[in-house]
Amino acid sequence: MILKKILSVGLLLFFLNGSSLFTQGLIPSYIITKGKLPQLAYSSGEDRLGSAKMGYIDTSIVMKVIDTVKNLYKVQLSAMHYAFIEKTYTQPFPDTMLSTALCESWHVKGGSEPGSNLVDSVSFSLSGRVPYKSWMEIDPSRIKIELYNVQSNINWITQLSSAKAVKNVWYEQTESDVLQITIELMKQQHYGYSIGYNGNTLQLKIRRLPAGIQKMTIAIDAGHGGTNLGASGVSSGILEKNYTLLFAKELQKILKKQKIKVLMVRETDTTIENKDRVLWAKQNNPDIFISFHLNSSGRDSVRGVSTYYKHIGFRSFSQSILKRLLEIKDLKEFGNVGSFNFQPIQPTDYPSCLVEIAFLSNKEDEKMILDPKFRTKVANQVFLGIKDWIRDWK
Ligand SMILES: [Zn+2]
């Protein structure tokens, strides 16, 4: 009993000590986001790709720090909501009383972007930059945005007839400091959107229906490269980085023959960080993004092809590609995998799909990967999958 008491006093002291880190200035009370591609996460949990991502967030957003876990800050989004952010994407912000921002007028219009991609834009005027989260919904197709630490002062939503992708916009103040925005889309298919601040105005740019495959720009990402070797073949010892490039080049050849514009993340054996692949893609603004990888498992009997997506709005794209790949003789199904946190397919800006063609850790799969005819076939089937997906657009 006494022992218990000592223990609990000890624990209490430990916690008091912990909280004094704030007063000692070791943990800032407030942070401001900075750097390239700061990202919010739902938890501090980890799998090999890190914790489940809430999405990218812009820079210069101030949030209150409520805790620190490993390399993360737990930050307050609103009275009831919090998130985690890597410390490297923050810097301390002078102590301040964060006041609740007001959301004012909205503006919906059509327009054209440099690079000839037609977009609709929706802008939300705010009295200050606040944290946000966005996501896609399907059937009906919608983009949802949640703004935190904000109250509605909205009495003016202008919608111009030049808008072609947006059908309706509305909002609900779901909590006293949370505003939920709904953007209903004309088309069933999601083609991607970007979101970020311009001053204190939050801007959403929604990609419209591309005018057929001939007008599209397709980005191909050969996984790994340079010092990042990836997996290796169980019998042959071949490296994933070299073979993803061979598959990528096969698809490049097919698309070029069709006079379709192709962008290659890499064409040589170079090291490119996954984050730089995202920055590169966001800069080059492709209509679709395909990433090739070769799988590996601790169990050598595991084999087959799989496709991966992060956002539900892009699932149909990865399904179309998988369906065609499954037509290849002897290629088994490993499955279609969602909510995948692999960085190159995180952006909402364009539909993306990661293809794990087959397992290098399985002898039968490895034999196929080594066969040039199989590589041509895979590229062909991916091309057919893209075409099917476009044909099925509604
Ligand atoms: Zn890989």
Local confidence band at 333 (pLDDT 50, 70, 90 cut-offs):
very high
Ligand 1 center to residue 329 CA distance, Å?
23
Range scoring the smallest mean pLDDT among 102-116, 224-238, 271-285: 102-116
Q: What is the pLDDT of residues 156-188, one digit of tens each?
A: 999 999 899 999 999 999 999 999 999 999 999
Ligand 1 center to residue 37 CA distance, Å?
22
Ligand 1 center to residue 113 CA distance, Å?
33
Local confidence band at 254 (pLDDT 50, 70, 90 cut-offs):
very high
Is CATH 2.40.50.140 correct for 101-207? no
Q: What is the pLDDT of residues 62-73, one digit of tens each?
A: 999 999 998 999
Ligand 1 center to residue 357 CA distance, Å?
10
Q: What is the pLDDT of residues 256-289, one digit of tens each?
A: 999 999 999 999 999 999 999 999 999 999 999 9
Q: State yes or no: pLDDT of 23 exceeds 80.
A: no
- CA end-to-end span of the chain, whole Å? 70
Ligand 1 center to residue 223 CA distance, Å?
6
Range scoring the smallest mean pLDDT among 18-22, 26-30, 218-222, 302-306: 18-22
Ligand 1 center to residue 219 CA distance, Å?
17
87: exposed, middle or buried (C-beta count within 10 Å: 0-12, 13-18, 19+)? middle
- Map the chain to HEC letters: CHHHHHHHHHHHHHHHHHHHHHHCCCCCCEEEECCCCCEEECCCCCCCCCCCEEEECCCCCEEEEEEEECCEEEEECCCCCEEEEEHHHEEEECCCCCCCEEEEEEEEEEEECCCCCEEEEEEEEECCCCCEEEEEECCCCEEEEEEECEEECCCCEEECCCCCCEEEEEEEEEECCEEEEEEEECCCCCCCEEEEEECCEEEEEEECCCCCHHHCEEEEEECCECCECCCECCCCCCEHHHHHHHHHHHHHHHHHHCCCEEEECCCCCCCCCHHHHHHHHHHHCCCEEEEEEEECCCCCCCCCEEEECCCHHHHHHHHHHHHHHCCCCCCCEEEEECCCCCHHHCCCCCCEEEEEEEECCCHHHHHHHHCHHHHHHHHHHHHHHHHHHHHCCC
Write the CATH number of the domain with boundaries 28-93. Answer: 2.30.30.40
Task: Give the Å distances, CA to CA, from 137 to 131, 184, 194, 314, 316.
Answer: 20, 9, 15, 10, 13
Choose among 120, 140, 146: nearest CA to 189.
140
Query: Residue 357 corresponds to which amino acid?
Result: I
Q: For position 232, what pLDDT does the model report?
A: 97
Query: Residue 238 corresponds to which amino acid?
Result: I
Ligand 1 center to residue 256 CA distance, Å?
25
Ligand 1 center to residue 231 CA distance, Å?
7
Ligand 1 center to residue 295 CA distance, Å?
6
Ligand 1 center to residue 172 CA distance, Å?
42
Q: What is the pTM of this model?
A: 0.89
Ligand 1 center to residue 315 CA distance, Å?
20
CA torsion, points 33, 123, 283, 186, in degrees to nearest 10? 130
Q: Where are the domains of the chain?
A: 28-93, 101-207, 213-391
Quickly name the fold that domain 213-391 has.
Answer: Aminopeptidase (3.40.630)
Ligand 1 center to residue 194 CA distance, Å?
26
Ligand 1 center to residue 187 CA distance, Å?
33
Ligand 1 center to residue 86 CA distance, Å?
24
Ligand 1 center to residue 209 CA distance, Å?
31
Ligand 1 center to residue 221 CA distance, Å?
11
Ligand 1 center to residue 355 CA distance, Å?
9
Across the chain, mean pLDDT equals: 90
